[in-house]
Amino acid sequence: MFIFDSVKREKVKFTPIKNDTVKIYVCGPTVYDDAHLGHARSAVTFDLLNRVLRALRYRVIFVRNYTDIDDKIINKMKESKKSLKEITEYYIEKYEEEMKALNVLDPDIKPKATETIEEIIKMIQNIAANGCAYTIEKDGVYFDTSKDPLYLSISHKDLSDSQSRIEENPNKKDPKDFALWKFSKENEPSFPSPFGEGRPGWHIECSAMIKKHLAYEDEYQIDIHGGGADLLFPHHENEAAQTRCASHQNLAKYWMHNGFVNIRGEKMSKSLGNSFFLKDALKIYHGEIIRYYLLSTHYRANLNFNEEDLLSSKKRLDKLYRLKKRIYKVKVSSPNKEFKEKFLNALKDDLNISKALAILDEEINKANETLDKEPKNKAFKSQTAANLKFVEEVLGIGYQDAYEYFQMGVSEEEKREIEELLEKRSEAKKNKDFKTADEIRDKLLKRGIKIMDTPEKTLWEKEI
């Protein structure tokens, strides 16, 4: 497999640190607000990576964290008059519900910063013992970037850039230095430590969670560190620096970053006021459609959000489900070896989703052509079902019942009405009252409801 390494800025052959085990850490959300499409894109990107590696028979240990103590959360506490626990638990629960809606696999480990305080303190002590930290009175403990000769080797950041996102503080030795531990202020959550009551800085949290849950005692602690492109600097740069100074190890062998989600040509962000919340998108579109849409642009490219492309994604997904209807409830055999190999080979090339989806489209077209000629070919139907099951496992799409998929967007109340009408139609047919049965069918057709009688029951779908 080949992946694009953000540090080397090129595609490289992926070789795990240890045999067939792959340890991945992805930066999760800071839980003070609802997730937006940028969060969703990162989650779907690394879910795809996780699935592909598993399909290639690697043993994956996948960790995605929650930042549950941070300046933004504290500001939310002041605004809402709610406790840290109330805020973070609420948004974690919402985030997990939305990830489930997107069919994102649950991580193997979901650590929280507040559950890693002991490890954070120990790491800061190691950094200080190695001469890479200093204290600013009534402020906090800071990392001294001048003591790390490899600082900026991860991001290659040009700090003359006005968008460098360096935290202003005139008391720091160097503008690049960053907080490892912030001393407590009145009415703010805090934890006891040898440095004084306070709370961790943002960057140290991830380094400590990686050390606690994943780290090898090798040159590299983990195989892959991932996240959005906006995290490359300062967050990932600072993580890597403090890990080098604390343990004399490199944090990750490979670094992967997904592109931005843009709305009206601007990067999606709450500060710009153009954040499209995932919860709002899920009110209009099923999570599978959003997932397909987020998948369909290569993960490193910026995604320019628009509803036209979202609807195009739905049409491509419709074709898959039309094929699923043609092989409804057939026995699943084994996927076609050639198709499986071609499909995985595309994704082994830095998750080349465009090529993989083109191969899938071609397979769907070929399957429909064969079924037009041989509608009763059970062996072919069985293999086609296996092909689609394989796609479901790798891409996380095509997992719904073929008929229920085409009922998306129909309210529960309308579903009950349709089922009641179908019940009456069934009774009419039993009583050989075909006139009433036809009237009910026509009534449903006028509402855009298409029905199909099967030996088991009458199925229906909402015409698009």
Q: State the pLDDT at residue 273.
A: 60
Q: Provide the CATH number for the domain formed by 317-401 in this structure.
A: 1.20.120.640
The tokens describing 113, both together, are 């910063």
Are the CB atoms for 65 and 111 separated by under 8 Å? yes
Instruction: State the Cα–Cα distance between residues 235 and 228, nearest whole angstrom.
Output: 11
- Token pair for 444: 């449903």
Q: Provide the pLDDT confidence category of residue 162 given band limits of 50, 70 and 90.
A: very low
Residue type for position 191: F
172-to-140, 162, 165, 177, 204 alpha-carbon distances in Å: 10, 19, 15, 7, 17
Burial 343-381 (b: 16+ CB within 10 A, else e): bbebbbebbbbebbbebbeebbeebeeebeeeeeeeebb
Closest CA relative to residue 240, chosen from 98, 328, 129, 145? 145
Rounded Cα gap, residues 349 and 336, in angstroms = 20
| CA pair distance 39, 27, nearest whole angstrom | 10
Bridge partners, 150 (sequence order): none
For tokens 């998948």, the residue is: 295
Same fold? 2-267, 317-401:
no
Which of the four pLDDT bands, split at 50, 70 and 90, describes residue 352?
A: very high
Average pLDDT, the chain: 93
Nearest C-alpha neighbor of 209 from the set 66, 111, 125: 111
**What are the pLDDT digits (tens) for 444-456?**
999 889 888 877 7
Are 418 and 408 a contacting pair, CB within 8 Å?
A: no
Cβ neighbourhood burial of 165 (10 Å; 0-12, 13-18, 19+): exposed
66 DSSP assignment: B
With 80 as the cut, is the pLDDT of residue 165 above it? no
The rounded distance, in Å, linking the Cα atoms of 209 and 325 is: 46
Tell if the pTM clears 0.85, that is, is over it.
yes
Task: List the domain boundaries for the chain.
Answer: 2-267, 317-401, 412-462
Burial grade of 9 (CB within 10 A; 0-12, 13-18, 19 or more): exposed
114: which DSSP letter?
A: G
Report the alpha-carbon distance of residue 388 to residue 399 in Å, rounded. 9
Determine contact, residues 46/351, Cβ cutoff 8 Å. Answer: no
Length of the chain: 464
Give the dihedral of Cα atoms 32, 226, 219, 114; nearest 10 deg.
10
Between CA 290 and CA 83 the distance in angstroms is 33
Backbone angles phi, psi at 370, to 5 degrees: -65, -40
Share of the chain above pLDDT 70, in %: 96
Tell me the pLDDT tens digit for each residue of 392-428.
999 999 999 998 899 887 888 998 999 999 999 999 9
Can you give the pLDDT at residue 168? 80
Beta-carbon count within 10 A of 222 CB: 25
> For residue 190, what pLDDT is reported?
95
> Can you name the CATH fold of 2-267?
Rossmann fold (3.40.50)
